[in-house]
Structures are given as C-alpha cells and as structure tokens.
C-alpha cells in the first residue's frame, strides 16, 4: 500500500506523527510536504495528493490542514478523487464502505493524534462494499464528465 500524504503549515507536526504511524503499519508513505511551519497554501497540497492517487502513483491519500476542509475541497476538484473529511472513525469507515473514498482528510486543529490514528485505522482497514453503491459512484463520475 502506497499512501500519498500532504498538509499545510497548520498540520506539519501531526503529519510527521501520522507518517511514522502509517510506516509502522507497513505502508509506504510518499510525502508531498509541507515539512515546515512556514505559511503556505493548502490547495497545492490537496491537488498534489489528489493527482498522485488518481494517477496510481499512490493507492490512497491522507490530507491534513487546520480543519481538513480546505485541503479536501481542493483535492476533490481533481477528477476521480473522493476525499472525505473526518473528525471521528465512523465517517471514515462508512465512506470507504459506501463512497469508495480514496483520500481521508482531517484537521490538526480538530483532532489529536489518538483520534487521527482511529480515523486512519477505520479508513485503511475497511473495504468498499460495491453492489448497490456502485451506481451512485458512477453518477459521481457522470457529474465529472458533464463539467
Ligand atoms: C490555515 O490557517 C487554515 O486556513 C487551513 O489550515 C485550513 O484549516 C483551511 O481549511
């Protein structure tokens, strides 16, 4: 499992904790930055991880900003991305089961490392159910094609 990860300046410390955690679980982590606390712009980081996932460079993505919102909105502009913002693990689990989410996002100003780990475990340990959900995923693809 290759995981693309990125963050803005609000989340650098949590990103490194998360990176180490994912590596301890055996995942290969591709870090797209930022690696400092210097002010930067979350859209570029959301786009980078979105493109890495859609291109197949990575299997899944993790995005962290202050709230998880801005960086996930940016990632969701990349065709084929289904990024979900979570502040608890149930949403992460259900978004994999029903929405086939391919990027999980959360906020460093919203969740601590323990909750982040629970969200990551739910996201990575859950499979997409397919079946009746695929028709709705296909409808999302159709929206993208109409843009
Ligand atoms: C940066 O201050 C903050 O706006 C950003 O991290 C994020 O929360 C945006 O959604």
Nearest to 17 by CA among 107, 104, 119, 113: 113
pLDDT in tens, 62-97: 999 999 999 999 999 999 999 999 999 999 999 999
pTM for the model stands at: 0.98
pLDDT band at 6 (very low <50, low <70, confident <90, very high): very high
* Span 2-19, average pLDDT: 98
Asked if residues 5 and 61 have their Cβ atoms less than 8 Å apart, the reply is yes
Collapsed DSSP state (helix, strand, coil) of residue 4: strand
Q: How far is the CA of 93 from the centre of ligand 1 (A)?
A: 24
> CB of 67 closer than 6 A to ligand 1?
yes
Whether residue 47 has a cis bond before it, omega within 30° of 0: no
- Token pair 């990632």 is found at 75
pLDDT recorded at residue 23:
98
Task: Please say if 133 is a catalytic residue.
Answer: no
**CA torsion sign, 12 to 13 to 15 to 19?**
positive
Q: How far is the CA of 10 from the centre of ligand 1 (A)?
A: 7
pLDDT band at 60 (very low <50, low <70, confident <90, very high): very high
Residues in contact with 16: Cβ distance below 8 Å, sequence separation at least 6, in sequence order: 35
pLDDT recorded at residue 11:
98
* Span 34-60, average pLDDT: 98
pLDDT in tens, 94-145: 999 999 999 999 999 999 999 999 999 999 999 999 999 999 999 999 999 9
> CB of 66 closer than 6 A to ligand 1?
yes
Asked if residues 120 and 14 have their Cβ atoms less than 8 Å apart, the reply is no
């Amino acid at each position: 499992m290759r995981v693309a990860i990125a963050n803005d300046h609000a989340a650098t410390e949590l990103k490194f904790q998360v990176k180490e955690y994912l590596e301890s679980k055996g995942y290969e982590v591709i870090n797209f930055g930022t690696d400092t606390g210097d002010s930067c712009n979350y859209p570029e980081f959301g786009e980078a991880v979105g493109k890495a996932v859609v291109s197949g460079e990575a299997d899944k993505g993790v995005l962290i900003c202050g709230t998880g919102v801005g960086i996930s909105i940016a990632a969701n502009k990349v065709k084929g991305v289904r990024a979900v913002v979570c502040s608890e693990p149930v949403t992460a689990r259900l978004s994999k089961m029903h929405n086939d989410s391919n990027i999980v996002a959360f906020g460093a100003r919203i969740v601590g490392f323990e909750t982040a780990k629970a969200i990551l475990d739910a996201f990575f340990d859950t499979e997409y159910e397919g079946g009746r959900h695929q028709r709705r995923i296909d409808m999302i693809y159709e929206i993208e094609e109409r843009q």
